[in-house]
Structure 1
Amino acid sequence: MALMRRILQAVAAVAALAMAAAPAQARGLIRDAEVEGVLRDMSEPILRAAGMRPDSLRLFILNDPALNAFVFDGRSMVIHTGLLRRFDDPDTITGVIAHETGHLVGGHLARRAANMDRLSLASALTMAAAIAAAAASGETQAGAAVAMGGRETLRRAFLAYSRGEEAAADQSGVDFMTRAGVNPEGLLGVLRVFQGQEVFSASRIDPYAQTHPLSSERIQLLERRVRESPAYGAPPDPAMLRRYARAQAKLDGFLERPERVLERLKLEEDPGSAPNRYRRAIALFRMAQTDAALDVLDGLLREEPDDPYYWELRGQILLESNRAADAVAPYRRAVSLVPDAPLIAGGLGRALLAAGQDAEALRTLERASRDDPGDARILRDLAIAYARAGRDGEAALATAERLALQGDFEDAGLQARRAMAQLPAGSPAWLRAQDVETLAEFERKDD
């Protein structure tokens, strides 16, 4: 079982990174440099307060309207878009992060490791793949389709906590927020939303209430601890308020039907605010009204000419409107403003590849894939760039890794064997191909 657990953890870690490059309508994990950056900056002071290194936690965004969040494998946290879009106060999301961090540092995942030993290998692998596998075809913006499992036993075994663990995570969360100087009332606000849901039928209960069981005593205890916190009543950081509003606008723009976004904007008190114009630009882009979208976006850029995410969106609009040559400059500008954002570098590489600038595209995509090795679209584009350069072994390896991330282990194995036949035996690339082939063979024998 120890070997099975190591394999399961490897599968989960790889599968959980199978995501595409921008917010999308299809259910799955979402990749976006701006939104991820906001969550990363929210989590950093909490993790430091908990004695964790900020780079030790992987944060994922699941495109699911349910109000939920969870941790797995001891170093990964998943937050649903339902939470991000429901709560306008960033301290509320920080409270969720603090609570989930309490589960991590409290050792509450150890019980799930024990439960794992009681599962069949097939069920365990299914759960690993369900955490984030399947589907980013690389042809659309859709992220990897995540089937969080249809088996109630798996959900209970891996996701449900005891009431005692929940209360302990609450207390830890308040401590972490207090040390970070963040108002812990945000955590209390989340739980009040779910208070009383236990009387509903199962179909009406939000997953967070099911997997994080509530009780009146727990709420009362938390209220007392929150009021006693020195950080109680501390105002939210204005800069984070602004950034979080932008992140919400971006999610709304990409996840809502664009017609509905534009209708809602008519009812807004301030439709000309920067977040609302961001929503408008994205909605117009998704309705193929390219020039109108660019007009709105250019207005935002006149006000904030050094905003990397506006430049990134401008590049995306132009690239996906078949204007690849025009997309290179805005993507290049975005990369210059945030050189440590591999997702944006991947966009630049994609634009360069589409514009026929193959040599620079290959260098850019190699760097982006090295910095973020689990992005399926970057791997797809990198395979194309390698093939154009006549580096067929590396093209096959990039394709094998992409297919493995998408859960297509049969074809991943074929591409991995093809890569091994063309790469120098024992080289780092050959060993990576061997890892994929081993995983594919393991999956084949389990079927």
Structure 2
Amino acid sequence: MVKRTFQFLIFGLLSLSFQASADNALPDIGGAGYSVITTEQEHKLGEAWARMLRGSGRLYEDALVSQYLEDLTWKLVTYSELTDRRLQIIVIDNPTLNAFAVPGGIIGIHAGLLLHAENEAQLASVLAHELAHLSQRHFAAQLEAQRRNSPLMIASILASILIAAADPEAGVAAMQSSMAASVSSRLSFSRQNEREADYVGMQTLAASGYDPKAMPQMFMQIQQTTRFSRTPPEFLLTHPITQSRIAESQNRAANLPSGQRSSNSIDFNIARARIQARYADKLGELHAHYQTEMTAPSDSLHYALAYTAMLQNNFSTAKQHQTQFSQAFEQQLPSRLLSVEILLKQEKLPQATAALETLYQLYPGNQAVAYLYAQSLTKSNQPAKAVKIYRNYLDDHPRDSRAWYLLAEAYGLAGDIAGVHQARIEYFLQTANVDQALQQIDFAMRENGLSEYQKARLEQQKQEALRVRDSLKMDF
């Protein structure tokens, strides 16, 4: 799958670049002074690339973490220079340090980024930097700069990021090859992009209330934690960090307001604790490590201890730490969801479902609540109700491939074969598996007793599949 999508990406981007190189007198149709690619073409490129990433990479399945990262990103977007806000935030199940921006509004975040950021302000600095790449249209700028030169560079770098999301070692090798093939002038232009993204990102940080000094602090943190690494993380390959860059970012940050927002939040600590547990080799050792920090107890520390205890089926210890939550934290969503997760882990489905029904009324748009509620209903032999929850959620999150996959399962348990077909088709389209989508449409069309509406909907999906196939060629 990765090989196929890699070939699609290389072919499409080479086609785009060769087309641009062949005509040095293109009219300025892109806006912001760029004539090689328009903002709408960037959006289509991003849509196609995101489909391929969802089909080739392993997405992070902890909806509470994904919701937190989406909320934080959108909080920053409000104060950014980004005008085209058709964004997709994709969280990758990968413990390595990486984040990237792809033209068309795609922000990719490796879950491992939270293992390296010491606080929320540092995490926000990376996201603000990536938003700056999008707002300043650096992809279009780089295409503009290289249209008279070899078109391979950007194509290979984008494809390398795609591969790295699914296979870090292959991605690093491909990235190193593409970087080595670049000429010094192109690297210089890349450094210019990075400096501009640093500056614009710092302005976003300051405007949103974070201390802009968090960005150079994050740079130093990355440099320190990776200096003895034999293989540099993908982030350093696309965002080279030098002492001069750190010094320059420190000087710029000193001239910006420090911000009134706390550098950290309990939501960051909770997300980080869940990610640490996800990638821990031995949960018992992680739990013991948290216990050594109990000299300064806090809600987030008790949460981490309760969460790791739950994962080890040590429910009495989990509940013991829950009793230490402050009264204010007890009423917050992460605390209440943890109680539900413990009930689900204990197979106490009636209690879990009842609690989730209440939370769903209070937080109807929250993806963690929606996922847990639908899954609890499915386990409780109420698949028809689960279908409604997934459908409502997908109305607002139509690109969530995992939700389409689970919806297909719920339809199957409910005995709705037409629904299974519809959901599977959408799943395949969202993961760039067009051939499988078309095959599923053929299967669906053979079903007896289809209504005229269902036939029309299948024909509509067929046309959509053909459109997606064309978009994956990225031939602008």
Change (3 A) 1:36 1:425: closer
CA distance, structure 1, for counterparts of residue 243 and residue 381 of structure 2: 62
Q: How does 1:414-429 map to 2 (within 5 A)?
A: 414-422=439-447, 424=453, 427-428=456-457
The 5 Å alignment of 1:42-121 reads 42-52=72-82, 56-110=86-140, 118=151
Q: Which amino acid aligns with 1:109?
A: F
Indicate conservation of the 8 Å contact 2:54/2:431, yes or no. no
SS of residue in 1 equivalent to 2:109: strand
Structure 2 counterpart of 1:323: 348
Distance 1:352 1:433 in 2: 31
Within the candidate set 339, 344, 366, 2:391 is matched to 366
**Alignment counterpart, residue 305 of structure 2, candidates 266, 280, 290:** 280
Matched ranges for 1:157-236 at <5 A: 162-194=190-222, 203-229=230-256, 231-232=257-258, 234-236=259-261
Bigger Rg over Cα: 2
Partner residue, 1:313: 338
Distance 1:430 1:75, change over 3 A: same
**Letter of the 2:48 counterpart:** V
Change (3 A) 1:13 1:50: same
Q: Check 1:378–1:173 CA distance in 2 against 1; reply closer, same or farther (3 A cut).
A: closer
Match of 2:464 among 435, 441, 446: 435
Secondary structure of 2:342 counterpart: helix
Any stretches of 5+ residues in structure 1 without a counterpart?
Answer: 20-26, 135-144
Deviations 1:385-411 (A, max 9, x none): 323444312211212333455666654
Q: 1:393 and 1:127 mapped to 2: Cα distance?
A: 38
Q: Which amino acid aligns with 1:253?
A: A
The question of whether the paired residues in 2 share the 8 Å contact of 1:149 and 1:155 is answered with no
Distance 1:417 1:300 in 2: 54
Change (3 A) 1:378 1:219: closer
- Offset of residue 426 of structure 1: 6.2
Please state how far the C-alpha of 1:324 moved relative to its aligned partner.
2.8
Give the match for residue 260 of structure 1. Answer: 285
Residue 153 (structure 1) shift? 6.5
The amino acid of 1:170's aligned partner reads D
Q: For the structure 1 residues 162 and 438, does the alpha-carbon distance in structure 2 shift closer, same or farther, using more than 3 Å as the test? A: closer
- What letter matches 1:251 in structure 2? I
- Counterparts in 2 of 1:165 and 1:319: CA distance versus 1, 3 Å: same
CA RMSD in angstroms comes to 4.2
Alpha-carbon contact 2:46-2:102 (below 8 Å) kept: no
TM-score, with normalisation over the residues of structure 1?
Answer: 0.77
| Partner AA of 1:332 in structure 2 | E
User: Where do residues 396-415 of structure 1 align in structure 2 (5 Å cutoff)?
Assistant: 396-403=421-428, 405=430, 411-415=436-440
Cα pair 2:60 2:66 within 8 Å, conserved: no
Distance 1:413 1:182 in 2: 48
Secondary structure at 2:398's aligned position in 1?
coil
Report the alpha carbon displacement of residue 268 of structure 1 after superposing the two structures with TM: 0.9
Identity of aligned residues (%): 21
Q: Which amino acid is the alignment partner of residue 235 of structure 2?
A: Y
d(CA) in 1 for partners of 2:267, 2:361: 20
Paired residues of 1:8 and 1:124 also in contact (CA < 8 A) = no
Distance 1:237 1:350, change over 3 A: same
2:96 partner SS = coil
* Contact in 2 for aligned 1:420/1:434 (Cα 8 Å): no
User: Do 1:301 and 1:307's aligned partners in 2 also have CA atoms closer than 8 Å?
Assistant: no
The structure-2 alpha-carbon separation of the partners of 1:440 and 1:288, relative to structure 1 and needing over 3 Å to count, comes to farther
**Equivalents in 1 of 2:406, 2:142: separation in Å?**
37
For the residue of structure 2 that corresponds to 1:77, the secondary structure is strand
Give the partner amino acid of 2:131: T
Q: Contact conserved, 1:85 with 1:248, CA < 8 A, in 2? A: yes
Deviation at 1:355, TM superposition (A): 0.8
SS of corresponding position for 1:183 = coil
Counterpart position of 1:346: 371
Aligned residue for 2:138, secondary structure, equals: coil
Q: Which whole-Å CA distance do the structure 2 matches of 1:302 and 1:202 have between them?
A: 43
The structural deviation recorded for 1:72 is 0.9
**Matched position secondary structure for 1:205:** coil
Q: Compared with structure 1, are the counterparts of its residues 407 and 324 closer, same or farther at alpha carbon in structure 2 (3 Å cutoff)?
A: farther
Number of aligned pairs?
A: 422
The alignment partner of 2:393 has SS state of helix
Q: CA deviation at 1:81?
A: 2.9
Give, in whole Å, the separation in 2 of the partners of 1:53 and 1:340: 24
| Distance in 2 between residues matched to 1:196 and 1:88, nearest whole Å | 13
Distance 1:368 1:154, change over 3 A: farther
2:68/2:271 contact within 8 Å kept = yes
Question: How big is each residue's C-alpha offset from its partner over 1:4-37, in whole Å with a ceiling of 9 and x where there is no partner?
Answer: 7777644322344569xxxxxxx93324444344
Does the aligned pair in 2 maintain the 1:12–1:132 contact within 8 Å? no
Secondary structure of 1:432's aligned partner: helix
Distance 1:321 1:243 in 2: 25
TM-score by length of 2: 0.73
Contact 2:82/2:131 (CA < 8 Å) preserved in 1? no
State the shift of 1:66 in Å. Answer: 2.9
Give the aligned residue type for 1:61.
V
Distance in 1 (alpha carbons) for counterparts of 2:418 and 2:172: 35
Q: Deviations over 1:226-269 (max 9, x none)?
A: 1111x13x45437x522222222222233323112112123214
SS at match of 1:71: strand
The answer to which of 83-92 and 320-329 deviates more is 320-329
CA distance, structure 2, for counterparts of residue 284 and residue 196 of structure 1? 32
Task: Tell me how far apart the structure 2 counterparts of residues 176 and 154 of structure 1 sit (CA, whole Å).
Answer: 33
CA contact (8 A) 1:253 1:280 kept: no
* Conservation of the 8 A alpha-carbon contact between 2:428 and 2:436: yes
Task: Tell me the residue number matched to 1:333.
Answer: 358
Aligned counterparts of 2:287 and 2:198: Cα–Cα separation in 1? 39
CA contact (8 A) 1:281 1:292 kept: yes
Q: Superposed, which structure 2 residues align to 1:281-300 within 5 Å?
A: 281-297=306-322, 300=325
Larger mean Cα displacement after TM superposition, 408-417 or 57-66: 408-417
